[in-house]
Amino acid sequence: MGEMEWDRQEVKRLKKKQLIHSNLLLLFFFILFVIYSQNGGALTVVIGICCIVLSIYAANLLYTLITGHAVGTKTYKRVLAFDIEHMGKKRWKRRRIIELIFLLVLILGIIVALFTFNLGEASLTFPLDFFPMLGGWIGMNIGQISRIRNLS
How many helices (H) and strands (E) the chain has is answered by: 5, 0
pLDDT for 97 beyond 70:
yes
Specify the amino acid at residue 46: V
User: What's the CA gap between 102 and 148, in Å, rounded?
Assistant: 23
Distance, in Å, from the CA atom of 71 to the CA atom of 35, rounded to the nearest integer, reads 30
Q: State pTM to two decimals.
A: 0.80
Q: What is the band of 1 on the pLDDT scale with cuts at 50, 70, 90? A: very low
Contact 47, 110 (CB under 8 A): yes
In angstroms, the CA 139 to CA 128 distance is: 18
| CA–CA gap between residue 84 and residue 15 (Å, rounded) | 14
Question: CA 58, CA 70: separation in Å to the nearest integer?
Answer: 13
Q: In this structure, what are the phi and psi dihedrals at residue 42, rounded to the nearest 5 degrees? A: -95, 145
Helix (H) or strand (E) holding 147: helix 126-149
What's the rounded mean pLDDT across residues 140-149?
Answer: 91
Residue 2 confidence (pLDDT) above 60: no
| pLDDT tens readout for residues 36-70 | 888 877 778 888 888 999 999 999 999 999 988 88
DSSP conformation class of 60: H
> What's the pLDDT at 94?
95
Residue 123 DSSP class: B
Using alpha carbons, list the distances in angstroms from residue 66 to 36, 44, 63, 94, 120: 37, 32, 5, 13, 38
Collapsing DSSP to helix, strand or coil, 42 comes out as strand
Residue 122 pLDDT class (50, 70, 90 cuts): low
Please report, rounded to a whole number, the percentage of residues in the chain having pLDDT higher than 90. 39
